[in-house]
Chain A
């Protein structure tokens, strides 16, 4: 087991290196001046463009440039984002907790709901519940997030006024958040508000989170539902389930212990995928709901052709992808012994 873990973790630097090379090849297509512009912080510095090119070796051959870029990137020097008027690294550090907050609030219901509804659908195959859930699954997977988000916003906020509009908190609570006495422990606003004992603020933040979370849950849980249903149907017809039934085991024990537990295996991979796609999808969801996470920033950065910001986000995604896929693999190793001895 230890051997498997070490082998898997040893792959991380290799994959990261390959990903960074891919991204560097893409931005290498820009001229040295264009790339140097990504390090400029003020108008005064713009005059020293040639200095920056020389200093950072942007006119050197490819391997040397890649080496220099890699070493500065590892040190957290990702350039300066025009969109946020801050260094890329600081912007990401500031905004990432909000994105993680949204992903957690959405991710947990996505997985649980997907598994539960998928099981329900498979156990009631071709009955009304199943038909209904299958329609939900098709609708959920075919709704584009930017359409669903806007439609929800239109009805729940615009027409009915049940939920607050775009943003993370109301204006009045915004002042409370910006107050120096308000301590930012985690960067996740709903958690911080609770830790500060500001329950009104926390409630407001949570109310603002309902719509983005709902959008993500409808879209992503439909996908898990589909896979879970298919897996359940497969395990329900397998030999060991029939054997268990033949031995007189109760329906519930067979369905939940024998069939579902084995159907859950592929869901682990899918959960990993979902986590990665929640991050990529954050670009759209956060833009719709004006939620101040990394996604919203990258959305507007891409519009401004803010190359360092977009590159920084791509590197961040690369790290998250590598971490999540490693975790998924390790989890498989724990659950499924066959994987360990591959």
Chain B
């Protein structure tokens, strides 16, 4: 394998993008074939999530509500970028599109063919459910990671920077939160909040921020005693500026790599809850339900109800883990 390092001459300072691209961890990442494979798989799933409406377009027969809410009558109108429906379904798809198309009310699966590329399970179109499910899962993952990451960084920064009794209080609270397995805590919250999409988001946000706060705090404790922070302080910088301008940007690398991994694990946790029947409502596009439906159809002739959704979920998980693990290794200072 020949890999040439980009040469940088001392006279010119490389641009921001270029210096990121040729930085040590990124070079390490680019050389790792598994990581690149993982990145490609992740990227494909990301594209599936974004362009779900065009990959599994709502059909005229079963997706009538979705088409109606988009203000169109023909499925083909979705593909026309000049029409309003194209952008509407891409950016703000109405809720009715997120309901898995139901071909029939018979629980007996039907094999792939016709409009249902993956067949149907419990009358639901598996292909439609998986494709739009990717969109739902990724969206929920992004929202949850964004909220928990923000909360975690703020709490961790305050706790680590100020120290003292406040730090002690926050850390003991986090200890208690982290000691229960997150699945148990999530289930308790979901039974109290009642099943709905907003309670799933709330439950994951309430349990998820603690690990970020813990990591950020640790990194801040290390960074805040470095010389450049003292220098900035002696120049008269205020606490706010010190935290957000000097300490924090130098302390978030490890928490960001964990957040990338979580973007892949949160969708799977939600799918697991749906599998248990306490996640997304039945009929909403999601992955876990199809695995739950599959339990009843173990016979060989119904292979598609198990194999296709399982393969889909496993590929997603594998891609994300390969990429996420490599990112973690590349940015881990110990492995340099």
Task: List residues of chain A with CB under 8 Å of any chain B CB.
Answer: 15, 18-19, 22-23, 26-27, 29-30, 138-139, 141-147, 150-151, 153-154, 157-159, 165-166, 276-277, 279-281, 283-284, 287-288, 298-299, 301-303, 305-307, 310-311, 313-314, 317-318, 321-322, 325
The answer to whether A317 and B180 touch across the interface, beta carbons within 8 angstroms, is yes
B185 at the interface (CB under 8 A from A): yes
What's the minimum C-beta distance from A284 to chain B, rounded to whole angstroms? 6
B275 at the interface (CB under 8 A from A): yes
B212 at the interface (CB under 8 A from A): no
Interface residue stretch chosen among B50-58, B89-97, B219-227, B317-325: B317-325
Complex CA–CA separation, A176 to B110 (angstroms): 40
The interface residues of chain A lying within 8 Å CB-to-CB of B179 are: 15, 19, 318, 321-322, 325
> Which of A15, A138, A280, A305 lies in contact with B191, CB distance below 8 A?
A305
**A-B contact list, 11 entries, CB within 8 Å:** A18-B172, A22-B177, A27-B188, A146-B271, A146-B275, A147-B291, A154-B307, A283-B183, A284-B275, A317-B184, A322-B179
B299 at the interface (CB under 8 A from A): yes
The answer to whether B192 and A298 touch across the interface, beta carbons within 8 angstroms, is no
The answer to whether A142 and B276 touch across the interface, beta carbons within 8 angstroms, is no
The answer to whether A310 and B310 touch across the interface, beta carbons within 8 angstroms, is no
The interface residues of chain A lying within 8 Å CB-to-CB of B183 are: 280-281, 283-284
> Which of B188, B288, B314 lies in contact with A143, CB distance below 8 A?
B314
Given that A15-B179, A143-B317, A302-B276 are contacting pairs, would A283 and B187 also be in contact in the complex, using a CB cutoff of 8 Å?
yes
**Interface readout for B166-193 with A: 1 if CB under 8 Å, 0 if not?**
0000001001110111111101111111
Complex CA–CA separation, A301 to B325 (angstroms): 35
The answer to whether B192 and A314 touch across the interface, beta carbons within 8 angstroms, is no
What's the minimum C-beta distance from A47 to chain B, rounded to whole angstroms? 25
B306 at the interface (CB under 8 A from A): yes
The answer to whether A151 and B310 touch across the interface, beta carbons within 8 angstroms, is yes
The interface residues of chain A lying within 8 Å CB-to-CB of B182 are: 280
The answer to whether B188 and A23 touch across the interface, beta carbons within 8 angstroms, is yes
What's the minimum C-beta distance from A204 to chain B, rounded to whole angstroms? 19
Closest to B268 in A: A144
Considering only CB atoms and an 8 Å cut-off, how many residues of chain B contact the other chain?
A: 47
Complex CA–CA separation, A56 to B179 (angstroms): 29
**Interface readout for B231-269 with A: 1 if CB under 8 Å, 0 if not?**
000000000000000000000000000000000000010
B294 at the interface (CB under 8 A from A): yes
> Which of B278, B303, B307, B320 lies in contact with A142, CB distance below 8 A?
B320
Complex CA–CA separation, A307 to B34 (angstroms): 45
The answer to whether A302 and B191 touch across the interface, beta carbons within 8 angstroms, is yes
B277 at the interface (CB under 8 A from A): yes
> Which of B34, B175, B180, B299 lies in contact with A158, CB distance below 8 A?
B299
The answer to whether A284 and B276 touch across the interface, beta carbons within 8 angstroms, is yes
> Which of B175, B192, B303, B318 lies in contact with A307, CB distance below 8 A?
B192
Within 8 A of A (CB), among B186-204: 187-195
The interface residues of chain A lying within 8 Å CB-to-CB of B322 are: 138, 142
B158 at the interface (CB under 8 A from A): no
B313 at the interface (CB under 8 A from A): yes
Give 6 A-B pairs besides A26-B192, A313-B187, A317-B181 with Cβ atoms closer than 8 angstroms.
A147-B314, A158-B300, A280-B183, A283-B276, A299-B277, A302-B190
The answer to whether B294 and A279 touch across the interface, beta carbons within 8 angstroms, is no
The interface residues of chain A lying within 8 Å CB-to-CB of B320 are: 142
> Which of B192, B194, B276, B314 lies in contact with A299, CB distance below 8 A?
B276
Complex CA–CA separation, A230 to B321 (angstroms): 17
Closest to B178 in A: A321
Complex CA–CA separation, A159 to B294 (angstroms): 14
Given that A15-B176, A138-B325, A277-B181 are contacting pairs, would A310 and B191 also be in contact in the complex, using a CB cutoff of 8 Å?
yes
Closest to B335 in A: A230
B146 at the interface (CB under 8 A from A): no
What's the minimum C-beta distance from A214 to chain B, rounded to whole angstroms? 16
Question: Which 9 residue pairs spanning A and B have beta carbons closest together?
Answer: A158-B298, A280-B181, A142-B321, A303-B277, A142-B317, A154-B306, A146-B275, A280-B183, A18-B176
The interface residues of chain B lying within 8 Å CB-to-CB of A276 are: 181
What's the minimum C-beta distance from A84 to chain B, rounded to whole angstroms? 15
What's the minimum C-beta distance from B327 to chain A, rounded to whole angstroms? 14
Within 8 A of A (CB), among B286-317: 288, 291, 294-295, 298-300, 303, 306-307, 310, 313-314, 317
Complex CA–CA separation, A317 to B185 (angstroms): 10
> Which of A29, A298, A307, A318 lies in contact with B180, CB distance below 8 A?
A318
The answer to whether A154 and B276 touch across the interface, beta carbons within 8 angstroms, is no
What's the minimum C-beta distance from B244 to chain A, rounded to whole angstroms? 31
> Which of A19, A144, A306 lies in contact with B272, CB distance below 8 A?
A144
The answer to whether A153 and B190 touch across the interface, beta carbons within 8 angstroms, is no
Complex CA–CA separation, A293 to B276 (angstroms): 15
> Which of B188, B190, B294 lies in contact with A150, CB distance below 8 A?
B294
Closest to A318 in B: B180
Given that A19-B176, A153-B298, A159-B300 are contacting pairs, would A284 and B272 also be in contact in the complex, using a CB cutoff of 8 Å?
yes
Within 8 A of A (CB), among B320-334: 320-322, 325
The interface residues of chain A lying within 8 Å CB-to-CB of B189 are: 26
The answer to whether A19 and B271 touch across the interface, beta carbons within 8 angstroms, is no
The answer to whether B187 and A147 touch across the interface, beta carbons within 8 angstroms, is no
